[in-house]
Structure 1
Amino acid sequence: MEVKIGKSDWIFLLLCLVLGIIAEEAFFRAEIGISYLLFTIAFYALFFYRYRRFSFSHQRFGYLLLICIWVMAASYFLNDNLFFYALNIFVIPALVFFHLVLITSQKKMRWNHPAFITYLLIKVAAVIKYNFIFASLVGKFLKQGVDENKFQIWKKVSVGVLISVPVLFVVLQLLMSADSQFERMLGGIPQWFQLLDGESVIRTLAVLFYTLAFFALMQALMKKQINAMVESSNKEKFRMDAIIIITVLVLINAVYVLFTIVQFKYFFSGTLQDNLTYAEYARKGFFELLFVTIINLTITVFVITFADKTKGILKRVMQTLLTILVMASAVLLSSAFLRLSMYEEAYGFTFIRVMAHSFMIFLVVIFMYTLLKIWIEKLSLFHFYFISGLLYYTVMNVIDVEKIIVTKNIERYEETGKIDIHYLNSLSYTGIIGLIDLYEKNSHHPGLKNLLLERKNEVNLDTIPWQSYNLKKVQVNQELKKLPLE
């Protein structure tokens, strides 16, 4: 990779340094809140400034990715869900990298082709390589006007110091532990040595890391590269014999037809066997049914992708068998959905249960499209799966799943008088809003007042840094301060 650094590149490096400082300030100072959204705005402002004369490709899909990224970043400001808080730390950077590589690639590049993964890895390697080349160029620049022999001496001394630091750190700790007099002597070292505290070093290193990462990323993406591995999309694919596939599908479908008959016989009719309660029956088979449904989806996609291209009666038989498999999966999903609903009625609503419900609805959409693909071959599975998965994940970030949980549990409380206040308290600030609503309905609920008092005391001591500013957090703090608990 040839690297040439001009005046504009040095200016851009300074801008990346500013962005690095913003990143360190946004992510290392306090809990992430509005800071993620502000950093995302700054990052893309710098990117579009750098690429202001660049001709982007895949713009329609690129805009969709951009909107989803910004919505996920805004979720740190709008909601306060610990699951998405942790997951988005990895998901958002991955999507940003995917987005930047996509819109800076050539127009003929197919992002929904498996070879695009190879292209992404090539770009990762290019970014890393750029940093090493840039470091060597900086070294050559600093070397100008310096005697070669002196430069080599200082270089070797620097290497020796770097090697000695970790060894000396361990040795000094051991020696100070062994001899108190030696420890007191080191304690008398002038105080200015202590100015360089560990936290400042780590923060400085973080700024430098972000600066070089942003600079290398945006510099390396300037060139639209096509790798031979990406272009070779006409390679012969693995194919499975149609007769073998039909045999497998017949056997699998026979089992599912039998299972469906059993389900309609007693489960969907409202009668159970083996003296099981609805809650026990729901708990017994939910995850097994969901797992089998995912296996069915995998089998269907495998057959559609790798089956021999056949015509006539064999093709129709295979399409019919795949259709039966999809319909059987619909029965499995319905059974799992009903089981989970009954389990929620018996034991209440939790984050995992609501997410499982939403995932099953997502699977219904996936299966409907897969059914169309069985009969309309020109449709692209991966294209639809990726976009629908992205939209599903983005929507789950925005709708505030915990608000649904709290609302459903309070509705259940009004009907049955049962509620787990400690589970609501374990949720984010949305759970506290639920506890406040419950207190307004029944202030004498056992243990509720003590929980809210603890939360109110935390609020009185809590000062929110600007990085952690969150609408839900501010709302809860205001509600708790107004709540008469004394």
Structure 2
Amino acid sequence: MLDKLLQSPKRPLYALAGALLLAVIHQYLFYGHLPGLSYPLFTVCLYVFMFVYAKDRMREFTWFGWLLFTSVMLLSLTYVLFYNPLFYALNLLVIPCLVSVHMAYKFSGRRLDWADIRLLWDTIDHLIPQNLRHAGTLFRVLKNITGRRLEEGHKRVLVQILIGLLVAVPLVTIVVALLASADGMFDHMLASVPSWLGSHLTFGEGGVRLVWVVVLCLLFFGYLWGFVDSRPYSTELKTGDTTDDRLEQKLGEWAEEAVSVKLAPVITATILVTMNVVYLLFVYTQFAYLFGASEGVLPDGLSYAEYARSGFAQLIMVTAINFVLMLVVLLLGEQAPGRLHRWNQGMLYVLVACSGIMLYSAYIRLVMYEETYGYTYTRFLVHAFMIFLGLLLLIAALRIHITRIPLAKCYVVLGLCAYVLINYIGMDTIIADRNIERYRVSGNMDVYYLQGLSADAVPRLIEFARNEYPELNAHLQERFAGMDSIHVPWQSFNLAEYRAQKALEDYFRDQ
């Protein structure tokens, strides 16, 4: 059945119908609703749309393709499972980017390796140039519907009409909304227009939904058809080549020039020795305080909190600089002969060791700072970043001796897995637990920050209020009243919010 659809001369018409259905689903799920259950549902619909109508352009299944797909679906499910405000907003950007890269990897005709930097070019190319290039395919679909050949003059007129509509409809929508707000009778008249259909839509809402569906339908169709009927790339430029051809070749030349730049072994050794001398002196002075700060061994004139706060950001920046320096040496350094090669390897290991000590020093300072001032989103994420940077350093250290380790591929996979993990680790609950533990030890509590945690932490806050801190009851009561007064449509369903509301309901019913 699917094979017949792909071979049918009406394939563009079927694809346009699928794009229209997908656009209708999109506006139904997201118009006037916050992302929730709607997000993974639409993600699945988008993948089904692409896999059905572009199946013959799909490359064979690979482990990286499955990794990207799994990551996209897991991140989409965070809109159902969690309610962390940071990732709630950040994933609105991250997920579409990952989906676009996955589609380019899966459907692009060039079958690029997933670590090839040109895959990013393919991603952008299919999002914009290839998409817009197929605007004219719509007329071929119209010809199939009417059964008549559109003359060039008619095509030109139809194009101009469509452009006029695309410009006029949003303007009319805005103007009508303004006029309706300015004149009550006009608003009443417009509101009664759809009533004979039994519709509850206002004229303005219906217009916005219509524009939403039309625009997304064209974009979805153009995006799909950019893979189905993509413009082939030539390896050599010929007369009449497009700007895209020339730009991509230029980018390739720049990439080749960048790769061809090499650092002479003596230059590498000089840089590493100079940097390591400074770092070794710094590490020497750090040891007395690094392992003795918790026992009160601090620099003169600095309190416990001041020592924890001082130099933290600088240590992270220096470690990051060292990481970049190590990558430059590993990727651009020329192979040194004999002893010089072993010397440079040794200097790289010293650089890794010093970077590790500085990273550990920054980590200890942050732990001390949190013990004094409490735990927050920012401090938690900095902890996660330091652990991530430590893993990157470890992989780079292995690369010093095992030269066949593909750094770029390792970093892409590690970065993707780390981002999914940080979404699922339960940041709000961990922060609540750490602040509660701090309260038990020191008696200090930043109750205002605790109250600002998302719905993920509410069950833990209820337990804390019931057993140890009844002062939270007023906040929990206010939070429950706010949740109970808001009707949440099924499209915006979120498990963390639902669980928090039920926990609050049970808690106050038992009191």
Structure 1 length normalisation: TM-score? Answer: 0.87
Alignment of 1:103-114 (within 5 A): 103-105=106-108, 109-114=112-117
Q: Give me the whole-angstrom Cα distance separating, in 2, the residues matched to 1:142 and 1:118.
A: 35
Q: Deviations over 1:59-93 (max 9, x none)?
A: 11101111111110111111111111111111111
8 Å CA contact 1:57–1:105 kept in 2: the answer is no
Q: Give me the whole-angstrom Cα distance separating, in 1, the residues matched to 2:492 and 2:164.
A: 42
Q: Deviations over 1:95-154 (max 9, x none)?
A: 111111112246862221323323333333443234422245457678958899899888
Q: Give me the whole-angstrom Cα distance separating, in 1, the residues matched to 2:179 and 2:46.
A: 47
Q: Which amino acid in the other structure matches residue 224 of structure 2?
A: M
Q: Give me the whole-angstrom Cα distance separating, in 2, the residues matched to 1:136 and 1:88.
A: 36
- Range 359-368 or range 328-337, more displaced: 359-368
Q: Deviations over 1:37-57 (max 9, x none)?
A: 111222222222234445524
Which residue in the other structure is 1:242 paired with? 265
Which residue in the other structure is 1:16 paired with? 19
Is the alpha carbon distance of 1:333 and 1:160 closer, same or farther for their aligned partners in structure 2, counting shifts above 3 Å? closer
Which residue in the other structure is 2:39 paired with? 36
2:384 aligned to 345, 352, 358, which one? 358
- CA shift, 1:187, in A, is 7.7
- Range 31-40 or range 126-135, more displaced: 126-135
Which residue in the other structure is 1:376 paired with? 402
Name which structure has the greater RCO, CA cutoff 8 Å, separation 6+. Answer: 1
Which residue in the other structure is 2:499 paired with? 475
Which structure 2 segments of 5+ residues have no match?
1-6, 195-200, 236-247
Question: Secondary structure of 1:113's match?
Answer: coil
Q: Deviations over 1:164-198 (max 9, x none)?
A: 88999999999999xx9xx7997897766698633
- CA shift, 1:244, in A, is 2.0
8 Å CA contact 1:425–1:431 kept in 2: the answer is no
Identity of aligned residues (%): 31
Asked whether 1:329 is paired with 2:355, we answer yes
Q: Deviations over 1:219-252 (max 9, x none)?
A: 2223585553589699452222222222122111
Is the alpha carbon distance of 1:40 and 1:150 closer, same or farther for their aligned partners in structure 2, counting shifts above 3 Å? closer
1:201 aligned to 207, 218, 225, which one? 207
Which residue in the other structure is 1:466 paired with? 490
CA RMSD between the two structures = 3.5
2:98 aligned to 95, 107, 121, which one? 95
Is the alpha carbon distance of 1:214 and 1:281 closer, same or farther for their aligned partners in structure 2, counting shifts above 3 Å? same
8 Å CA contact 2:180–2:187 kept in 1: the answer is no
Q: Which amino acid in the other structure matches residue 385 of structure 1?
A: Y
Q: Give me the whole-angstrom Cα distance separating, in 2, the residues matched to 1:122 and 1:75.
A: 29
8 Å CA contact 1:19–1:43 kept in 2: the answer is yes
8 Å CA contact 1:406–1:430 kept in 2: the answer is no
Q: Which amino acid in the other structure matches residue 77 of structure 2?
A: A
Q: Which amino acid in the other structure matches residue 209 of structure 2?
A: R
Question: Secondary structure of 2:508's match?
Answer: coil
Q: Which amino acid in the other structure matches residue 36 of structure 1?
A: Y
Q: Which amino acid in the other structure matches residue 116 of structure 1?
A: L
Q: Give me the whole-angstrom Cα distance separating, in 1, the residues matched to 2:180 and 2:11.
A: 51
- CA shift, 1:206, in A, is 2.0
- CA shift, 1:200, in A, is 2.3
1:219 aligned to 213, 218, 225, which one? 225
- CA shift, 1:443, in A, is 4.8
Which residue in the other structure is 1:120 paired with? 123
Which residue in the other structure is 2:480 paired with? 456
Is the alpha carbon distance of 1:158 and 1:393 closer, same or farther for their aligned partners in structure 2, counting shifts above 3 Å? closer
Is the alpha carbon distance of 1:290 and 1:147 closer, same or farther for their aligned partners in structure 2, counting shifts above 3 Å? closer
Which residue in the other structure is 1:283 paired with? 309
- Range 305-314 or range 183-192, more displaced: 183-192
- Range 154-163 or range 361-370, more displaced: 154-163
1:311 aligned to 293, 313, 337, which one? 337
Asked whether 1:253 is paired with 2:259, we answer no
8 Å CA contact 1:131–1:212 kept in 2: the answer is no
Which residue in the other structure is 1:59 paired with? 62
- CA shift, 1:305, in A, is 1.3
- Range 312-321 or range 469-478, more displaced: 312-321
Which residue in the other structure is 2:81 paired with? 78
Q: Give me the whole-angstrom Cα distance separating, in 2, the residues matched to 1:176 and 1:59.
A: 55
Q: Give me the whole-angstrom Cα distance separating, in 2, the residues matched to 1:371 and 1:250.
A: 17
Asked whether 1:412 is paired with 2:415, we answer no
Q: Deviations over 1:463-484 (max 9, x none)?
A: 2211121221111111111223
- Range 298-307 or range 5-14, more displaced: 5-14
8 Å CA contact 1:242–1:307 kept in 2: the answer is yes
Question: Secondary structure of 2:228's match?
Answer: coil
Q: Give me the whole-angstrom Cα distance separating, in 2, the residues matched to 1:340 and 1:16.
A: 50
Q: Which amino acid in the other structure matches residue 362 of structure 1?
A: F
Q: Give me the whole-angstrom Cα distance separating, in 2, the residues matched to 1:444 and 1:461.
A: 24
Q: Give me the whole-angstrom Cα distance separating, in 1, the residues matched to 2:384 and 2:24.
A: 39
- CA shift, 1:381, in A, is 0.8
Which residue in the other structure is 1:273 paired with? 299
Q: Which amino acid in the other structure matches residue 401 of structure 1?
A: M
8 Å CA contact 1:424–1:434 kept in 2: the answer is no
- CA shift, 1:405, in A, is 0.7
- CA shift, 1:159, in A, is 6.9
Q: Deviations over 1:321-367 (max 9, x none)?
A: 11111111101110011001111111111111111111111111111
Q: Give me the whole-angstrom Cα distance separating, in 1, the residues matched to 2:81 and 2:104.
A: 28
Q: Which amino acid in the other structure matches residue 93 of structure 2?
A: F
Question: Secondary structure of 1:434's match?
Answer: helix
8 Å CA contact 2:190–2:202 kept in 1: the answer is no
- CA shift, 1:275, in A, is 2.5
Q: Which amino acid in the other structure matches residue 320 of structure 2?
A: I
8 Å CA contact 1:106–1:226 kept in 2: the answer is no
Q: Give me the whole-angstrom Cα distance separating, in 2, the residues matched to 1:9 and 1:370.
A: 49
- Range 272-281 or range 126-135, more displaced: 126-135
Q: Give me the whole-angstrom Cα distance separating, in 2, the residues matched to 1:42 and 1:160.
A: 31
Question: Secondary structure of 2:45's match?
Answer: helix
Q: Which amino acid in the other structure matches residue 490 of structure 2?
A: W
Is the alpha carbon distance of 1:5 and 1:252 closer, same or farther for their aligned partners in structure 2, counting shifts above 3 Å? farther
Question: Secondary structure of 1:483's match?
Answer: helix
8 Å CA contact 2:10–2:144 kept in 1: the answer is no
Q: Give me the whole-angstrom Cα distance separating, in 2, the residues matched to 1:151 and 1:56.
A: 35
